[in-house]
């Protein structure tokens, strides 16, 4: 597993020119299981999940959290820690007048979020994929919109499937790691304010979360596209050039 992930990460970084480390997440039913991981880091302050993710993706940390390490129920709810989804959380009262105009708007947002079900898990570990410290349930990486489109093209090369993703708005971690942990499906998100303010996500980055095995499918697809001359970053052709020569390079032999 570790050797496979090391190669997949190297291929992913080569094909997409990534600026941060691909990382994984794993949930644990008991915190003692999480604490058994050698040299695991534990937070020394209260954080958002966005900060925990950033410490792994940007600094290479393997870090484990339990409910009390996270700043509030919004972060805990998405990953199913701490029984966060009580009536007060469902009301969204804390977001009224900040992100949403009314209680009805705020509660509708809470209901729209993809979250891991409550009651089963006590801990979560986030770790760079290449470190081999965990066997991740989901793999994640940040990339530019162009790189994400190329990755999706790779996923669709064989066994084509249309992808339909949602945008919940603020708390868009529910669109990425929340949805992927809950459904086991590839999940793309536009990172929200909190991810950018507290998690250091750059203005031109999107986030993909998906089962680790799916990485191999996407990489095989991107390698096939590369052989056809379709590579990232995309070389610009020119907005006033005669397009026929460029189109002929891809489609003329067909």
pLDDT given at position 119: 86
Domains in the chain: how many in total? 1
Residue 149 lies in a domain: yes
- Would you write out the chain's pLDDT as a tens digit for each of its 254 residues? 566 899 999 999 999 999 999 999 999 999 999 999 999 999 999 999 999 999 999 999 999 999 999 998 999 999 999 776 899 999 999 999 999 999 999 999 999 999 999 989 999 999 999 999 999 999 999 999 999 999 999 999 999 999 999 999 999 999 999 999 999 999 999 999 999 999 999 999 999 999 999 999 999 999 999 999 999 999 899 999 999 988 988 887 65
Residue 248 lies in a domain: no
Tokens coding 232:
């990232």
> Residue 123 pairs with which residues in a beta bridge?
28
Residue 252 lies in a domain: no
For residue 224, count CB atoms less than 10 angstroms from its CB and return exposed for 0-12, middle for 13-18, buried for 19 or more: middle
Residue 31 lies in a domain: yes
Residue 246 lies in a domain: no
pLDDT given at position 252: 78
Could you tell me the pTM of the whole model? 0.94
pLDDT given at position 1: 57
37-40: long-range pairs with CB below 8 Å, 24+: 37/62, 37/64, 37/125, 37/133, 37/134, 38/133, 40/64, 40/125, 40/133
Name the DSSP letter for residue 209. Answer: E
Residue 112 lies in a domain: yes
CA distance 48 to 55: 11
- What domain range is 218 assigned to? 2-235
Residue 249 lies in a domain: no
pLDDT given at position 246: 87
Q: Is 138 helix (H, G, I), strand (E, B) or coil?
A: strand
Q: Listing from the earlier edge strand, what are the strands of the sheet with 23-28?
A: 63-65, 123-128, 23-28, 138-143, 206-210, 187-189
């Amino acid at each position: 597993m570790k050797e496979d992930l090391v190669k997949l990460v190297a291929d992913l970084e080569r094909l997409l020119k990534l600026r941060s480390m691909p990382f994984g997440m794993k949930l644990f039913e008991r915190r003692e299981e999480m604490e058994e991981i050698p040299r695991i880091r534990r937070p020394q302050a209260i954080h958002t999940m966005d900060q925990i993710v950033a410490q792994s993706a940007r600094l290479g940390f393997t870090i484990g959290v339990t409910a009390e390490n996270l700043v509030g129920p919004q972060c805990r709810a998405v990953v199913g820690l701490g029984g966060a989804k009580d009536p007060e959380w469902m009301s969204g009262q804390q977001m009224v007048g900040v992100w949403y105009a009314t209680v009805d708007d705020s509660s509708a947002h809470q209901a729209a979020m993809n979250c891991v079900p409550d009651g089963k898990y006590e801990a979560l570990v986030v770790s760079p994929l290449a470190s081999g410290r965990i066997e991740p349930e989901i793999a994640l990486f940040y990339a530019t919109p162009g790189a994400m489109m190329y990755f999706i093209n790779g996923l669709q090369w064989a066994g084509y499937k249309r992808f339909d993703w949602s945008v919940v708005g603020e708390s868009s971690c529910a669109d990425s790691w929340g949805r992927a942990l809950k459904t086991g499906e590839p999940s793309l998100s536009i990172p929200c304010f909190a991810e950018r303010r507290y998690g250091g996500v750059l203005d031109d980055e999107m986030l993909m979360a998906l089962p680790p095995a799916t990485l191999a499918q996407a990489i095989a697809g991107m390698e096939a596209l590369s052989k056809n001359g379709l590579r990232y970053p995309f070389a610009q052709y020119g907005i006033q050039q005669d397009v026929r020569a460029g189109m002929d390079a891809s489609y003329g032999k067909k």
